[in-house]
Structure 1
Amino acid sequence: MARIATRDVGFVLLVCLAISVVDAKTAGKANGGCSETVRDQLCHYTGPYDVCVAAINADPRSNLKLCPRGILRILIDRTLSNVTVLNNHIAHLLNDLHTDADTRDSLKGCASVYAPAVHDLRNDLRLIGFKNYQEYYRLRTVVDVLESCPYGCERSFIQRPKPARSPLTSINDYIQKLTGSVMMTMDFIYHNLSKGY
């Protein structure tokens, strides 16, 4: 039986380690940018890391969680579902007999701010697969309008005869963070189109 020298074993282990590192770095490119490394890099890039990670972890579609475009879809879907929660809360407050007239007007203002933006985003979801500047810009413009909705909603409570505290602030803040993450994810994908993202 031949004896294997210690340095030969060390060399073989070093080569195996080098191959695995190269494989890990190229896996994202070979799979269209899909890997845990890309996901983590993307969540760090998009702003509030905790918002990005929480949205991804809460989504049951594991096939989308490692790819930039899948993560974009998750973040957009999460944003739309939170706008639905906001609209349901607005409807609940409007139906509450204890809600005063000024607050009702502000709530109606919030609903009217969000409605067209959500409609446009739902109509342009096909653009998640953008391949050029025009498609990217169209989707980004729609998301940008949605990102301004929380601000417009909050202003409807401040700019009334008797300014009042908005009962929607926490969800508006969360929607604004999500839409910010959506836009940053879109920017990340656009600037990496040449890498196959």
Structure 2
Amino acid sequence: MFGSSLQQPSTIVKAIYSVAMLIAKKIKPFSDGELVKDSLEAVIKDVLPDKSKLFSSIILSRQNICHRIEEDISAEIAVTLRDKINQLRVYSLAFDESTDISDTSQLMIFIRGLNDSFQVTEEMLNILNLKDTTRGEDVFQAIENCLAKNSLNFGTPSGLTTGGAPALVGKNKGAVKLLMDKLGCRGIKINDIFIIHC
């Protein structure tokens, strides 16, 4: 059952990632990794005492779990999302600005699209802190940067959905207006884009 594969570092690393993924999926504190390790060691000590030394090399500290989730797993998710986005034939964006409990303005950006196989992708692209102001230009710039970061050019969106704040839907300087101007400059028929706001 626990053969020589446990002696390989790659197997131990895989085990650490598996525990980190479980902790993230269950939305548990990162420090629960230490409880998992203690539990594993207690079980192995009673069931397979000769293998207990192998399990002591598994590091499930709060810092290690945090590193695996925040950097490694999230980077893999971002790459997967970017690959899905690059396969979209058409897409629509939804974005809204909100203020959190600490009075920080945040912009949420969602994408929904269809690929050549008619598979629907619906994902949150990003939540961005809007540092200083929440003018239409600031929101537009944040959206533009997010799309560039995710390798999504301003191709042909089929729709835009936003909240009704003036910074988003303002007639002259709202983020939607600035986005439509940018698309128009690229020769895209902006009259074909379906726009909804609350």
Check whether TM > 0.5: no
TM range (shorter): under 0.3
TM-score normalised according to structure 2 size: 0.21
Which structure has more strand as a fraction of its residues? 2
TM-score normalised according to structure 1 size: 0.21
